[in-house]
Amino acid sequence: MISWKLVQKARRTLEKERGTVRKPWGGKRTICLIYPNTYHVGMSNLGFQTVYQCLNSEDDIVCERAFLPDPDDLREYDDTQTPLLSLESQKPLPEFDILAFSISFENDFLNVLTLLQLAHVPVESQLRGEEHPLVIGGGVSVFLNPEPLTEFFDLFILGEGEEVIREFLDLYRQAFPKKGRGEKEDLLKRAGRVEGIYVPKFYQVAYADDGKIRAMNPEPGFPPQVKRRWVKEIDRFQTRSILFTPETEFKEMALVEVNRGCPRGCRFCAACFVYHPFRNRRLSSLETLSKVGLTDERRIGLTGTAVSDYPHLLSLCQSILSQQGGISFSSLRVDAVTSSLIQCLRAGGSQSVAIAPESGSERLRKVLRKGYTDEEILNAVNTLVENGIRQIKCYFLIGLPSETDDDVKAMILLAKKIRHQILSNPRGQRERWRVVLSINPFVPKPATPFQWAPLEEVAELKRKLKMIRKGLEGEKGVEVIHDLPKWAYIQALLSKGDRRIGKILMAAHRHHGEWGLALRETNINPDFYVYRKRDLDEIFPWDFIDHGIPKERLKEEYLKAMEEAGIKI
C-alpha cells in the first residue's frame, strides 16, 4: 500500500524545485541517490548535487533522490507501511537497481539504517539477495573511515567521485548487460579491483587479545591498500548548484566550487589531508560558472576547502559584482581579511563574516599549525568592522591536545578583546553589531596528524563550556553557541571505530537512537575507541586506505606537535 499523502507531499516539493531531472524508466538502469538526513540538509550539499548531475548525465541511467523523512512523514510511513519513496517518481526504493548513499557526517550513520528499514530492504548486507538493490556508499565521512558501516554496504567508493563513478557504471553494464540480469558476486569481484572501490567482504580483519587490530588481509587478487581517488583536473567538471529550491539553507544562492584541498596543513583538519593535493580552478572557468549561476539565482556562494587561498579571489568577486550578483563565503582566513575583499562582500550584500581562530591562546594555535597572533586576529576584526560587517562569527575548538584551563581563559580574554576592538571603532560605536562564538569539542579525525589523540572526556568538555559561558556573562553583543559534548563522544566513536562498532549501530537502531541503551546492551567498550591514546605503531581501522599522504609523515607531524606542546610520547 502506498500512502497518497506521501505521494502528494513529494509532488508539492517538486513543484518548488528548478533543475529537477525526470527520465522515463523504460530499459534504463535505475539509481536512487540517498542523503541520510532531511531534504533541507541534503539539498544544501553541493557534493550531493554533483553526484546527481554526474549520474543523470549518462543516457542509460535514471537517478532519483530520497532523504530522511521529517518526523510527521516517518509516522505516516510506519502507519501505512509504505516503503520509502523516491522524490522524482514516487517509486518504492526496492524497485531501484542501486541505492547510493552520500554520507558527509558520522552522526548520520544511524540514519542509513533507518532509511534501509523504511525502504523495506534488509539492513545487513548478508541478508540481501539477488532480488534486492545493490547498496553502495560514498562521501567524505566514508572515505575517512567506512569500517563501522561495513555490515550494511555492498561496496564503498572512496574519494572524489566524478571519474570513478563512471568506471563503476561501465562495470555494472558489463555485469548486468540486461536490466535485472546478472550476478552481484561477479560485479563485486570486478569492482573490488578498481582503484577507489572498496568491497568489505573481500577483506578479513584479525584482532589481537588486547582488542587492537592485528592485521587486515585481502582475499587473493584484491589490493592490500585501496587508493583514495582524486580528480587531477577539476576544471573538467562543473561543480555548481544545478537544483534550486527555497527549502534549503542556501535559498536564492547558487553554489560554485572554487578549489579542493588546502595548502595550510592544519594538524586537526581532515579536509586538508583527505582532499590533498591542493587544486584551484581557473579564473575563466569560475567566471563562466558564476555567470551561469546568476541566471538561476541572484547570489553566488563560493565554496571550497580553502576559498581564502584562491589566488584570484578578489578578481573573481569583482567579476561577480560587475554582473550585479551577490557574494557569500562560508568563512575567511584571518590573513585573507583585506579592505578591498570585504568591500566586495559588502557590495555583494553580505553583512556577516566568519573567521576561525580555533583557540584562544597563541601557544595552542602554533600547536595546531594555525599560528595567528592575537594582534592579527584583532586587526582582521577591525578591518571587518571598518568596512561595515555587522556580525562576526568566530569558530573555536575545545578539548585540543595539551589544552589547559589557561588556554580556555585565553579564549574568554580574546572574545573580550574582540568586543573591545569593535567598540573602539567609530562604526562599532554607532552601528548594531554581534559577535557569535561557535565552540565545538575537538574530535580527532582519521588520516590527520591528530589521529593518535583521544577525545577529551565529556565531563571536562562540559566544565570548560561552563567556564566560557560564565566568563562571558554580561558581555553585551557576544553570543556563545556550541554542540553538546555527548554528540562529540558519538562522533568520535563512529569516526575512529572499526567493524565491531556496527553492532553498536544495530543496537542504537533497535532502540530508536537511544545511544545510552545501545552502549549498555553491547559487550563493546566504547571508551576503548574514544578516550584511548593510540600507540604510535598501532594499526588503525582505516590504514587500508591510501589517502595519498604516508602515515609516517602524519606521525612526524604528530610528534612535532606534541614536542611543541611539551608533551612526552
Q: Which residues pair with 240 in a beta bridge?
A: 256
Q: What is the pLDDT of residue 182?
A: 65
**Whether residue 269 is found in the same domain as residue 134:** no
Q: What is the pLDDT of residues 139-163, one digit of tens each?
A: 999 999 999 999 999 999 999 999 9
Q: What is the pLDDT of residues 389-415, one digit of tens each?
A: 999 999 999 999 999 999 999 999 999
Reduced to 3 states, what is the DSSP secondary structure of residue 188? helix
Least Cα distance to 557 among 482, 477, 452 occurs for 452
Q: What is the pLDDT of residues 129-138, one digit of tens each?
A: 999 999 999 9
Q: What is the pLDDT of residue 21?
A: 97
Q: What is the pLDDT of residues 264-291, one digit of tens each?
A: 999 999 999 999 999 999 999 999 999 9
Q: What is the pLDDT of residue 250?
A: 86
Residue type at position 106: E
For residue 259, what is the domain's CATH number?
Answer: 3.80.30.20
Distance CA 555, CA 369 (A): 15
CA angle 145, 486, 354 (to 5 degrees): 75
Q: What is the pLDDT of residue 508?
A: 98
Is 507 within the bounds of a domain? Answer: no
Q: What is the pLDDT of residue 569?
A: 80
Is 203 within the bounds of a domain? Answer: yes
Q: Which domain holds residue 387?
A: 234-468+545-565
Is 382 within the bounds of a domain? Answer: yes
SS (H, E, C) 291-316: HHHCCCCCEEEEEECCHHHCCCHHHH
**Whether residue 149 is found in the same domain as residue 170:** yes
Could you tell me how many residues make up the chain? 569
Domain count, the chain: 2
Among 205, 227, 249, residue at a domain's last position: 227
Among 211, 227, 243, residue at a domain's last position: 227
Find the mean pLDDT for residues 508-532. 96
Q: What is the pLDDT of residues 428-449, one digit of tens each?
A: 677 789 999 999 999 999 999 9
**Whether residue 218 is found in the same domain as residue 293:** no
Find the mean pLDDT for residues 478-499. 97
Q: What is the pLDDT of residues 216-265, one digit of tens each?
A: 999 999 999 999 999 999 999 999 999 999 988 888 999 999 999 999 99
Of the pLDDT bands very low, low, confident and very high (cuts 50, 70, 90), residue 519 is very high
Least Cα distance to 103 among 76, 68, 58 occurs for 68
Cis peptide before 277 (omega within 30 of 0): yes
* Cβ atoms within 10 Å of 46's Cβ, excluding its own: 17
pLDDT at 538 over 90: yes
**Whether residue 192 is found in the same domain as residue 269:** no
Give the predicted TM-score (pTM) of the model.
0.96
Q: Measure Cα distances from 43 to 33, 47, 64, 88, 194 in Å.
A: 12, 10, 13, 14, 30
**Whether residue 24 is found in the same domain as residue 87:** yes
For residue 104, what is the domain's CATH number?
Answer: 3.40.50.2300
Find the mean pLDDT for residues 290-314. 96
Of the pLDDT bands very low, low, confident and very high (cuts 50, 70, 90), residue 516 is very high
**Whether residue 209 is found in the same domain as residue 336:** no
Is 504 within the bounds of a domain? Answer: no
Q: What is the pLDDT of residues 188-203, one digit of tens each?
A: 999 999 999 999 999 9
Average pLDDT over all residues of the chain: 95
pLDDT at 115 over 80: yes
Distance CA 225, CA 216 (A): 10
* Cβ atoms within 10 Å of 172's Cβ, excluding its own: 20
**Whether residue 342 is found in the same domain as residue 396:** yes
Among 193, 227, 261, residue at a domain's last position: 227
Q: Measure Cα distances from 75 to 2, 98, 359 in Å.
A: 14, 26, 43
**Whether residue 277 is found in the same domain as residue 136:** no
Is 496 within the bounds of a domain? Answer: no
Q: What is the pLDDT of residue 181?
A: 57
Distance CA 388, CA 345 (A): 10
**Whether residue 354 is found in the same domain as residue 458:** yes
Q: What is the pLDDT of residue 253?
A: 95
Q: What is the pLDDT of residue 422?
A: 94
SS (H, E, C) 315-359: HHHHHHHHCCCEEEECCCCHHHCCHHHHHHHHHCCCCEEEEEEEC
pLDDT at 354 over 80: yes
Is 540 within the bounds of a domain? Answer: no
Is 482 within the bounds of a domain? Answer: no
**Whether residue 133 is found in the same domain as residue 203:** yes
Is 488 within the bounds of a domain? Answer: no
**Whether residue 153 is found in the same domain as residue 270:** no
pLDDT at 180 over 70: no
**Whether residue 428 is found in the same domain as residue 561:** yes
